[in-house]
Amino acid sequence: MKWGDAVIIGAVLLVAAALAAVLAMQAVGDRLYAEVWKDGSLVERVALEEQTDRTIELDGHNTVVLLGKTAKMQYADCRDQVCVRTGTLTRAGQVAVCLPNRVVLKITGGQSDIDAIVS
């Protein structure tokens, strides 16, 4: 390996480490919320914290489990089970949707959903 190759590899590693550090610091400050929607209406919004331990049942058709800073669709009586197979949601922006029962479970960050206003 030549000296120039080592400089390029070192620069790439330095940029990657800096980017990872910036992303990690942003994620730590954001508070996470689990939102449960039914028929387009917000049913419940719960702050996800280390001690969160809650089960939400929706008319016996869907069961949402909130445990710590995670959320998942534990049970659904629909045929395809896509929402259940979505698994555990842990980050803002992740969504589990049960189309037959019109239920949406999503994780949102603590800040506004508006990214920018353009005039």
Q: What is the pTM of this model?
A: 0.68
Tokens 């710590």 identify what position? 68
Judge whether 69 and 90 are in contact, CB under 8 Å.
yes
The residues that bridge with 72 in the sheet, in sequence order, are 65
pLDDT in tens, the chain (119 residues): 788 888 899 888 888 888 887 766 655 557 899 999 999 999 999 999 888 899 999 988 999 999 999 999 999 999 999 999 999 999 889 999 999 999 999 999 855 455 566 76
Find residue 76's DSSP bridge partners. 62
Query: For the purposes of burial, counting CB atoms within 10 Å of the CB of 86, is it exposed (0-12), middle (13-18) or buried (19 or more)?
Result: middle
Q: Answer for the pair 75, 62: CB distance below 8 angstroms, yes or no.
A: yes
DSSP 30: P
Q: Token digits for 116?
A: 């920018």
Map residue 6 onto helix, strand or coil: helix
Q: How many CA atoms within 13 Å lie on the side-chain side of 9?
A: 6
